[in-house]
Each structure stands twice: as structure tokens, then as C-alpha cells.
Structure 1
Amino acid sequence: MGDDTNPDRGDAAMTRRQAVGAFGLVASSAAAASALAASSNAQAAAQGAPARGPASLLYPHESATRASRDLSGLWRFQLDPTDRGEQDRWFVGGLPTPRRIPVPCSWNDLFDDARDYFGTAWYETDFQLDPGWRGRRVCLRFGSAVYRARVWLNGEYLGEHVGGHLPFAFDVSGLAREREPNRLTVSVENKPQLDRVPSIPDPQTARMYQVDYPQTAYDFFPYCGLHRPVVLVSTPDTHVQDVTVTTAFSGATGVVDVAFAVNANWSGPAKLILTGGPRPISVPVTVENGRGAGRLRVDAVRAWSPQDPFLYRLNIRLGGESVIDDYPMKIGVRTVEVRGSEIRLNGKPVFLTGFGKHEDFAIHGKGLDLPVLVRDFELLKWIGANSFRTSHYPYSEEALMLADEYGFLVIAETPGVSLVFMDAPPIIEARYRQLEGALTELVHRDKNHPCVILWSLANEPIPKPFHTVNDIPPGAVETGTKFFQRLFAHARGLDQTRPVALVSVQGGPAEWVGQGDVICANSYNGWYVVSGRIDEAAATLEKEITGLRARHGDKPVIITEFGADAVAGIHAQPPEMWSEDYQADLIEAYWRTLRRHPYVVGAHPWAFADFKTAQSIMRVGSLNQKGVFTRDRRPKLAATRLRSLWKAAQG
């Protein structure tokens, strides 16, 4: 995960990686850690700063005891195609010939020489500490860096994080200088590697009949960069580090259980306060050795749902008469469970209407774009959707918080897209370790969102890569079965309050998808299969879903992808492939077929909007055009057709 041979850092500097947070760490020796603690804490004490420790990954909500500063803006940026930056110590002397780049954003759509560049690039910015933060703990938090990020502050190596889409943080108390500028330097690379998740086809063994550029194992563009905000967070020395909220009902009373962790094994009084109802509810808690827990009972509770996405405000306050720390967050009181062939929200069955979608927009790439996010949610409401899947990676925390507000039901997915099981065992094991870590980080980050009702562990795992003429090697299905047995067990150990599934490719191994609490399957009859024949596509779908029922018993079924590419403005009568008419008619045929089966509890056309892909003979304009909206969010015929169908189904 990193180069431990750099002579400029030394053992003490290497151990600063421990500040990354709860996950994604690189191990280091206890002796080196002790040396670092002694030297860095002396430096912190000289500045009146707290001794450094693990950084909290909680979202930086502000309160009377907490403050944050968004470092987003125009940073300095430089490509490093020969990987000389570390050797030449750019993190000390500065970037030699930088240009400007916005953060957050992908770099690929901005610069002509970087569109297809996935190697190392460097970011640099300067900041000053707020004078009011003296004596407080200061952490540096990254919302996402794709794919591998290494971070320096004032020439000191902080650590690295491998895997995009999820946050990581460093405690920089004492390292961040007061009354003078601080230089923050970050190297990011997204090199295509066989042992990463997601990965690429093995060029030594995969016999491709279609070659894309760039070649990936998945059908979306591998955008690179700092994709989400970089934030400085100021907290008291003693502070809440983690919170887990679970909710239930006892008749008309809501039951809110809160467990939380405090740094440094602190012990003392605390209080849980819930507001938003007719009156505040307060429960005293005693924290012992850094652990506290309490229960709030909410009479006449307003249950969170798509129809009424009501959010209460929870404050976890440390201290007695004098407040030491106050962490605020919004929560929804709701339950989710699989019972028989139903997914039940608050005890009532739900049917999921919505889409798979992407974090994708012109120029920004996969960088957080709040106006686009709000527009997407407004269009989801307009069309009658109640849900979406975060295909095929974790979406931004801002998207999840907004989904809480709008009342969307979310299938939260890991980055485990197009996993292949014909590769060598060490490669498969390396992918497993990375995916298990990403799943841990995902659940840790999103466990308190009421919108998240289902964890998806992977999308379209396959025995051999797409677009290859290879035979399925012996043992590939069994290897995948064991892989997912481990991953499902890990997921259920992390969170027992939500169902777990994986999304199967059409006709994928039943042994894999059958391990889920819900059967999620993609189906492309009328496009990749029985192309151009809508009536035959519907008949084939009928056989597929009755086959799923026969193989998997009474588990609920969600058809998580179906649809057709449509070039905006192309029409045909009779409908034919690539026309808006064909796309709309095929989606309607799927919808009417699926609704005849009560055990089908969700239908997600692919996709919400057109999105960027690699260059390919299958992708006109390097776009997947299966969106019912164009990439700039103009509705195609399928959007208005779906709106009519979904509004009619809602009565």
C-alpha cells in the first residue's frame, strides 16, 4: 500500500499513517509509534495543542463546540507521469510548474493532456489556522480521493488512503502551524491495476473480442482526483469520535438507541438530547472508558418514510453543567426488514421505483456538484421515483443527507463492480481484502442514515471478464461462492439492522446472488439479448423471474437494471433500437411484466441519466445512453412514459 523505503521520512514519519482514522491504515512498529508520539506531542505541547491521536471520521457538523473550514477552491496542480514527485521532494519544495485546478473535481475533463491520464498527479494549497482554534484538536478530513492518495503537511508525511469514494482523516494538532501559512500537498493516482477494486481484465489471460480505451472491467469512465471536499475540523481535546443510532417502535412510541465512543478512554457524564417533536427529550448517560449508550423513548413518534421524511435532531453532549463537546446529527425513526417476499419499511411493504444512477456530469466528472445533486433529486420526485441505487460505488455524504431530507430509499453499494473469479488466487484475495475494507468503511460512514435500507456488496460479479472468448475456468463459480460467503458474513457482522444483497449479472451464478436477503438481478432482454424484439424480450423476462422464484424460494426480487440506449432526438415508427420510442416501449414492457408478480418488489430502469464511458464501438460519443434523461438532464420519451406509469401505480 505504500513505499516504506523512502529515506526522507524515517520510522517516526512513517508511523504518522496511524492518524488516517479507523480504516485503511498501514501498520507500523510499536517502537516507531512511541518515538513519533514523544516527538509530535512535544511539538503539540509547545503550541498549546492537544496530543495527537486517531482522527474521527464523523461528518463535520458544526455546533457550539465544533467548527470546520472547507478548503475547497482553486488549488495548484501538476501531472507526474514519471513519478518523480516524491524523489524530488515536491512535498517540501513545492510543485515546479503548477496550474490551477478546482477542488472538488475530476481532472480528466479539464485539461486536454489529462483526459486519458490515470497516473500520479499532485495537488497543493495553503491555509492558515483560525486564531480561535488555539489549544483545540485539529483534523484534516478528505471526503474522497480516487484512487490512492498520499498526504503531506508542511513537508511532514501524514499517511495514505487506498480506495476511492470514502472519507479518511488525519489529526494534525500541533503540526498545523499558527500565525503562518501551512502548505498541504497531496499526490493522487488512479492507475489501472489487476489487484484493485474495481480492476481491469488481465492482459495476459483475458482474450478480448472488444477492446475499449481505456480498458476497464466496468462500463463507466475512471475519473480521477479529489472528488469531494477537503475540510479542516476543530474539536475540543475530548470529543465524540463515533456514533451508532438504531431505531425501533413500541406501539406508537419510537425507541432510539444511541451508542457512542469518546476519545482517550474518557469517563464522565454525558447527555442525549432529541428535539424536533412537541418537546425536547433528554436522557443522562454515564461514559466509562470511552463508551456510552442510552435509550430515548419518543411518544407519538413521526416515523420516517418517503411520504413523511421527518428528521429529529440528536445531540450527544459530553460533560455536566459545563459542556465539553456537543455533536449534532439528524436521525429518522424507522425500521426495515425482509419478511417473506416483502421488504417492509415501518412494518409496511414497499415497492421500489427509481433508478441506478451515477455521480457523473460534464466538466466536473465525478466531483461533488451540489446544483446537479439537487436537480437530480427534483427530477426523481417529478418522475415519481422513491429510491435509487448508488451504482457502482459509495456516493457522497451530501447525497445521503439530502436523500434523508427528500425521503428516498437508497440501496448503498460498494465499489465491487465486475469482480472476476478466473484470476490467480493471490489476486482474488487482494481484491477481497480491499473490498472488505471498503465495506467496513461504507457501513461505518452510512450506518445512521434512515434512507439506507439495503447494502449491496457487488454489482455483476462474473466468472470471466466481459467481452472475452475465454471459457469459464473450472472452480471459478466455487471460488466466487466462498468469496461472497466471507463477504456476506462480514456485512452481517457489521450491521444486523438492514438486509444485504449483491446485484447479479443476467444469468449470473445462483450460488452467489442466492446468499442475499433480497434477490437483485440485472436483465437486458431486448438490448443485449433478443435485440430489437420487445415482445420476445417480455416473454424471456417472464421466464427469468419465474426461474428466480423457483431457485430462491420466497425471497423478494428487485430487477435492478433493465433498458436500452436511446440517442436523444432519434425517433422511429415502428420503434427500433437506439430510438427514444424503442427505449420507452421496452421499459414499459418490462414494467407491466414485473408488476404481474407480487414477489417482485422493485424495478429500477438503467439508468437515470446518460453518463461518460470509455471509448468503445458500443458507446456513441463515449456515453452510455441508457439514461431516461440526457447527461444534461433533459427528459427523453422514456422519462415521461415512466412518470405516467409510476403515477398511475401510486393511485
Structure 2
Amino acid sequence: MIFKKIIAAFLVLLSVSAFAQENLIVNTHNRKQVSLNGTWHYIIDPYETGFYDYRYKEKGEKDPEAYWNNPEPHGKTDRKEHGYSDDYTIQVPGDWNSQDDVFKYYEGTVWYQRTFDKPKLDKNERVFLYFGAVNYEAHVYLNGKKLGMHKGGFTPFNFEISQEMLEDEGNFLVVKVDNKRYADEVPTLNTDWWNYGGITRDVKLVITPQNFIQQYAIHLEQSQDIEKSIKRKKFNISGYFKLNGPNTSSEEKITIEIPEIGLKEKVESNASEGSFNFDAKKLELWSPENPKLYEVKFTLGENILTDKIGFRKIEVAGKEVLLNGKKIFMRGISIHEEIAPEARRAKNSADADKLLGWARDLNVNMVRLAHYPHNEYMTRAADSLGILVWSEIPVYWTIDFKNEGVLKKAKKQLDEMIIRDQNRASVIIWSVGNETPVSEARTRFMKSLVMHAKEKDNTRLISAALEVGYNRGKNYIDDPLGEYTDIVSVNEYLGWYGDLPHAKVKSKWETAYNKPLFFSETGAGAKGGFHADKETRWSEEFQEWYFEETLKMMENMPENFMGLSPWILVDFRSPKRNNPKFQEGWNRKGLIDNQGNKKKAFFVLKKYYDEKEKEDQE
């Protein structure tokens, strides 16, 4: 028995080590780079013929019929049973489902291929191949050599290719992309959103000096009394940095500057990393009303890396959430990373502007980015616009909570989300999951994620979207996970999944925890343009009635109620939604329909948010 346990533990470690990659480089937006976006070739490979031989064993690296090797024949007698052709091309970034009908429902392997020339480099410069995200499993090959693999459809990864590039001819880049669903993955088999496959975010070559700043965080020191700091106009800033390079030493120093306030500090490293803590005067704090961003410069040798960073403090005090020492009410909305009028995954800054523009039309001060980390364009735009962000990993519904390997995968995605966006002032909540059914195994699993997030980042709140049982007259929230999260967040659908909207008015809410209460979801479906009386389901009038009754219920919420993010901004595609008249493969809970038209309920919620904003300003 002991031997079996040792073997099982070894297999878990082995499975996790298979996901090893170069340590993640942050802030690629402001580094020297070459885009590899654009037209790629593809091969659809549902039987994974290019990966496995006919005995279903992974092909050898030099196997000429492995799809990562160049299939160009050397003579007329050469037998080649695969090839990349200009007749089969696909755009990167982008999901494959929306680019050709043959892909619409496809789940499986697609091989992506393109060539690129080695960029012109200065002496001692290094090159990394960076992917913003690939859904879900990616195996990456360059010139026939495997660089590595990555699992997780919504977080970035990179590999160093400095020594792998060819000097005088095109470099042959191949990515095996597989979006099949599995019970032991994150997310798991069952989700209520479209499983968009492909290289869905930017691909680029990131060019760095020999020694460079790979990661960093800079923020207000959380232990300071923020009200005293504001009064004295003197703040404490802290953070860390991590260096990458063969020649880093304990004598390495970096300079941190915020030119606008005259701050310039030199910080020593301990070999490849370091931390800092210093005072800053005349600092304007970031908030939705004043989304102040400062140019911050990090200098290592002759290399300067810049970023736009806001400084703020988010915390819980009893039953309230405080931003820079002031109580806030979060006027939120949930968003999927999808451009509904084009039925595709959002992929660039224009898409982020469109989604957040619709959210601003609603007069929100907060968005819940569901149910996975969204593109970095979203969080950077939110920084500039002054929109608070809830960012989440796809621990969704029926994850295998007893599986240690699944927990390690979830923690890895959590790490990659935090590392990428830890310098975005807009992100105030890390969420570790959505609607996970209560059990001892689940609570241990989720508690582990909460504690892991707190260990990685103490500058944000940690939460998860919980479910609630509906009882006539009283809804008592006592999910054991609420003991560990900073705020108690629940998804509430009384009036849609149980009774009718009029039941909301008499509904009473209580929690077992002396913590802020947040409605992470609430909503009802409506087919845009379908009108009837308010009791007719799927009509805009029913959805309007639902929100009217929901907002009446808000008037009698307990004093710890501090906001909501209704479900959802825009209709989104889901293969679970199969009413042939009203859904047609779309989740219709959007306040905006899939053609971009605002439904009647949109204006009900906007009026409420306008009124809440006035109250907060008084």
C-alpha cells in the first residue's frame, strides 16, 4: 500500500513537471518585440496522426511524418502524407470556431504552422517566444525541436529560443493546439460557455538583454495606515523584482524611478531577485474617480523597462470594503471574453475597448471578468478607465476536488494570472472559482487555493462565487468556504431558477460571516426583440421585471451588502442552451443581445447605478 502511494505521488509530480516552461516574462507590451500575429497554416488532425504513430505512441523527434517537421519532399520518390498549404490558413490571434464552418463545433487537435526570420539582434540579446494564451493544451516546436508544452487556455507562457533559431533561413514554427475537454483539467468537462479553440491571443518574439528584469511588483505597502498617509501626503511603497540572466550576482542593482514625483531609488539584488521598501511623497492614489497612472522606470545596466502603474489600497474593515480608506459600493457587471455580434473570442485592444465601452454605458465602476483570466488588454484598459476588476481562474462547477494533480493545475493557473496582472491597480479581487458544490473535499481544495492566493499577493481581496439555497422568506449563506474568503460572494437567481420575480421582494438575506456580501451574479434570460407581457418568459419585459424586483430586494439587504455584478453584459454562445426559438445556442441573460442591441433591463440597471453614484457622491 505504501509503495502504491509513493508511485501515485511520483506520477502527480511527473504530470506537473510536464507543464514546466520558461519562467513567465511580464509586461511584454513595453519590451522590444516582433509580432508573429497574422496568417498561419493549419492541419485539422482529429486522430492526432501527426503526434502519435499507429501504435498510439508519441512519434520520435526526427520522424519525417511528425507534423512538427518540415514536410517538403526532397525528391519525387519521397512519401509525404501531410503538408502545410496556403489553401488552409487561419488568423492568429483568434479562435478557430469563428473562422470557418468546419471548425464551429470542433474539439480536438489543430496544427498551426508559420515561418519567421531571425530578428536582427544587438550583441548578447536573447529571444523568447511568447504566447498570450492557447486553448487548451499547446505543444510548441521550432525547427523540429520541441520547446515544451503548456496547459491552461487563458494564461500566458514563453520559451527561450536564442539558441534554437536558424541564421540564414526561415525558422519553421509549429504549435499543436488541442481544446478537448477532460475530467481532470481546469476547467473540466462541463461548462456553460463556448469552448473556443486556437491560438487566441498575441504571439510575439520578446527580445531582451542578456540580464533583464523578468518580473516585478510595485504597490502601496499594505501595513500602512492609509488615512494617515493621505493626510501626511507621504506613502510607503514596496515590492519585489526577479532577474533573468547568466551573469546576475549579489552586486546587481536596479534603479526604480517615478519621474513625476521625483522618486529615484537604487535597490540591490540578492543574486537573481530583490525586494524594496521606500517612501514616496505627493502621490495621487488610483480610484475610479481618479484613475491616476504613473510612469515607472526600472533600470538594469543600460536597459530601461517602463510601465504605467496606479497606486491604491483595497481592504476589508468589518462589513465594509474600503478603497483608499473610503467605503465603496461596487456597481458591477459580469463579462465573457466574447464579441457576440461576430460570435468569436475577443482578441485585441479594440475588442477590450468595445466591451468596456458597453460596460461604461451602464455606468459601472466594476467588472467581473468571468470565468477565466481575460486578455491583458482588458486589465490594462480598466487601469486607464478607472474600472475595478474581479479576475477569476476557471475552477468551475464539478472540478475533481479529490485529485491532487488538478489542484496543482489550478494553482499554476492562479500563479500565472497573478504574475501577469499583479501591477494592474484595477484588479482588486482574485477569484478562485465559481459555483463549486459544497463537500469536505471541495472546501479543502478551495481553501488551499484561497491560502495560495493570499500567500502570492496580499494587496488584493480573495473571493469565489458561491451558490445559495433558496428558502421562502429567508436565504442564509453559510457556505464553509466563506470562512476563508475576504468577501462573501454569491450567485443569486431567485425568480428565474425558482418561483417568479415577485418572490424577491419578500426575500431576506443573512450570512454566517461578519464580512461584506456581494452578489457575483443575478439575472434572467430574454431574447432581444421579443416583446410580450412581463410574465412571458424570454420576453424583454420578463427580464425587465426581474431586474425591477431584484433592485427592490436590494433596498432591504443587510448592512454588509456592498455591490453586485449581474449576469451578464452581453449574450454569449453556449452549447448547453438549446431552446430552438429563444436560445439557439446562446445564453440569453445578456443586457445586450448578440447583435449589440440594449435590452429594456439594461436601462433599469443603469438608472439604479446612476442613483447609487449620486448617493455615493453626497
Q: For the superposition of Structure 1 and Structure 2, which TM-score range results when normalised by the shorter chain?
A: 0.7 to 0.9
Is 1:429 aligned to 2:404, yes or no? yes
Structure 2 residue aligned with 1:500: 462
Alpha-carbon separation, structure 2, partners of 1:187 and 1:409: 36
Q: Which one is further off, 245-254 or 480-489? A: 245-254
Structure 1 residue aligned with 2:243: 262
Structure 1 residue aligned with 2:358: 379
Whether the 8 Å CA contact 1:609–1:629 is kept in 2: the answer is yes
Choose the corresponding residue for 2:188, options 195, 199, 210. Answer: 199
Supply the AA of the counterpart residue of 2:564.
Answer: A
Any idea what SS the aligned residue of 1:129 has?
A: coil
Q: Which one is further off, 377-386 or 259-268? A: 259-268
Choose the corresponding residue for 1:308, options 279, 286, 290. Answer: 290
Over residues 594-651 of structure 1, what are the superposed CA-to-partner deviations in whole Å (9 max), with x where a residue is unaligned?
2433311011111010000005445711000100011232211111222212112211
Any idea what SS the aligned residue of 1:231 has?
A: strand
Supply the AA of the counterpart residue of 1:614.
Answer: P
Alpha-carbon separation, structure 1, partners of 2:70 and 2:257: 49
Q: Which one is further off, 258-267 or 154-163? A: 258-267
Structure 1 residue aligned with 2:203: 230
Structure 1 residue aligned with 2:35: 70
Structure 1 residue aligned with 2:11: none
Choose the corresponding residue for 1:479, options 404, 416, 441. Answer: 441
TM-score by length of 1: 0.81
Supply the AA of the counterpart residue of 2:120.
Answer: P
Alpha-carbon separation, structure 2, partners of 1:611 and 1:574: 23
Supply the AA of the counterpart residue of 1:569.
Answer: G
Structure 1 residue aligned with 2:274: 292
Alpha-carbon separation, structure 2, partners of 1:626 and 1:354: 15
Alpha-carbon separation, structure 2, partners of 1:281 and 1:141: 32
Alpha-carbon separation, structure 1, partners of 2:565 and 2:114: 42
Supply the AA of the counterpart residue of 2:83.
Answer: P
Structure 2 residue aligned with 1:365: 344
Any idea what SS the aligned residue of 1:480 has?
A: helix
Mark the CA change 1:456 to 1:231 in structure 2 (over 3 Å): closer, same or farther: same
Q: CA deviation at 1:24?
A: 6.8
Alpha-carbon separation, structure 1, partners of 2:299 and 2:578: 58
Choose the corresponding residue for 1:96, options 50, 58, 83. Answer: 83
Q: Which one is further off, 283-292 or 409-418? A: 283-292
Q: CA deviation at 1:350?
A: 0.8
Whether the 8 Å CA contact 2:533–2:539 is kept in 1: the answer is no
Is 1:443 aligned to 2:418, yes or no? yes
What is the correspondence of 1:534-545 to structure 2 with a 5 Å cutoff?
534-539=501-506, 542-543=507-508, 545=509
Q: CA deviation at 1:189?
A: 0.3
Superposition CA RMSD, Å? 2.2
Structure 2 residue aligned with 1:114: 103
Over residues 463-493 of structure 1, what are the superposed CA-to-partner deviations in whole Å (9 max), with x where a residue is unaligned?
5xxxxxxxxxxxxx11212222222221211
Mark the CA change 1:404 to 1:24 in structure 2 (over 3 Å): closer, same or farther: farther
Alpha-carbon separation, structure 1, partners of 2:209 and 2:578: 56
Is 1:458 aligned to 2:443, yes or no? no
Over residues 489-512 of structure 1, what are the superposed CA-to-partner deviations in whole Å (9 max), with x where a residue is unaligned?
212111122221111123287113
Structure 2 residue aligned with 1:610: 571
Q: CA deviation at 1:395?
A: 0.6
Any idea what SS the aligned residue of 1:158 has?
A: strand
Structure 1 residue aligned with 2:77: none
Whether the 8 Å CA contact 2:70–2:172 is kept in 1: the answer is no
Any idea what SS the aligned residue of 2:606 has?
A: helix
Alpha-carbon separation, structure 2, partners of 1:129 and 1:280: 40
Is 1:153 aligned to 2:132, yes or no? no
Any idea what SS the aligned residue of 1:621 has?
A: coil
Mark the CA change 1:97 to 1:124 in structure 2 (over 3 Å): closer, same or farther: closer
Structure 1 residue aligned with 2:8: none
Structure 2 residue aligned with 1:467: none
Whether the 8 Å CA contact 2:297–2:307 is kept in 1: the answer is yes
Mark the CA change 1:134 to 1:55 in structure 2 (over 3 Å): closer, same or farther: farther
Alpha-carbon separation, structure 2, partners of 1:561 and 1:364: 23
Alpha-carbon separation, structure 2, partners of 1:313 and 1:190: 39
Alpha-carbon separation, structure 1, partners of 2:122 and 2:131: 20
Supply the AA of the counterpart residue of 1:262.
Answer: L
Over residues 386-419 of structure 1, what are the superposed CA-to-partner deviations in whole Å (9 max), with x where a residue is unaligned?
1111110011111111111111111111111113
Alpha-carbon separation, structure 2, partners of 1:77 and 1:148: 16
Mark the CA change 1:420 to 1:139 in structure 2 (over 3 Å): closer, same or farther: closer
Mark the CA change 1:606 to 1:399 in structure 2 (over 3 Å): closer, same or farther: same
TM-score by length of 2: 0.86
Over residues 399-452 of structure 1, what are the superposed CA-to-partner deviations in whole Å (9 max), with x where a residue is unaligned?
11111111111111111111346x8x4xx3332221121112211222111111
Supply the AA of the counterpart residue of 1:233.
Answer: V
Whether the 8 Å CA contact 2:573–2:587 is kept in 1: the answer is yes
Structure 1 residue aligned with 2:481: 512
Supply the AA of the counterpart residue of 2:375.
Answer: S
Is 1:410 aligned to 2:389, yes or no? yes
Is 1:600 aligned to 2:561, yes or no? yes
Q: Which one is further off, 125-134 or 598-607? A: 125-134
Alpha-carbon separation, structure 2, partners of 1:56 and 1:511: 34
Whether the 8 Å CA contact 1:414–1:435 is kept in 2: the answer is yes
Q: CA deviation at 1:580?
A: 1.0
Structure 2 residue aligned with 1:355: 333
Supply the AA of the counterpart residue of 1:494.
Answer: K
Any idea what SS the aligned residue of 1:68 has?
A: strand
Mark the CA change 1:273 to 1:364 in structure 2 (over 3 Å): closer, same or farther: farther
Mark the CA change 1:436 to 1:293 in structure 2 (over 3 Å): closer, same or farther: closer
Mark the CA change 1:57 to 1:132 in structure 2 (over 3 Å): closer, same or farther: closer
Q: CA deviation at 1:298?
A: 2.8
Over residues 202-239 of structure 1, what are the superposed CA-to-partner deviations in whole Å (9 max), with x where a residue is unaligned?
xxxxxxxxxxxxxxx22111111111000101110011
Alpha-carbon separation, structure 2, partners of 1:290 and 1:129: 28
Mark the CA change 1:634 to 1:134 in structure 2 (over 3 Å): closer, same or farther: farther
Q: CA deviation at 1:57?
A: 1.9
Choose the corresponding residue for 1:529, options 477, 494, 498. Answer: 498
Mark the CA change 1:133 to 1:225 in structure 2 (over 3 Å): closer, same or farther: farther
Whether the 8 Å CA contact 2:16–2:408 is kept in 1: the answer is no
Any idea what SS the aligned residue of 2:344 has?
A: coil
Alpha-carbon separation, structure 2, partners of 1:480 and 1:293: 35
Supply the AA of the counterpart residue of 1:261.
Answer: K
Mark the CA change 1:129 to 1:579 in structure 2 (over 3 Å): closer, same or farther: same
Q: CA deviation at 1:55?
A: 4.8
Supply the AA of the counterpart residue of 1:260.
Answer: F
Alpha-carbon separation, structure 2, partners of 1:374 and 1:488: 31
Query: Which ranges of structure 1 fall in alignment gaps of 5 or more residues?
Result: 1-17, 29-52, 201-216, 464-476
Tell me the percent identity: 28
Whether the 8 Å CA contact 2:125–2:210 is kept in 1: the answer is yes
Supply the AA of the counterpart residue of 2:42.
Answer: F
Mark the CA change 1:595 to 1:330 in structure 2 (over 3 Å): closer, same or farther: farther
Q: CA deviation at 1:59?
A: 2.3
Q: CA deviation at 1:158?
A: 0.2
Alpha-carbon separation, structure 2, partners of 1:104 and 1:130: 21
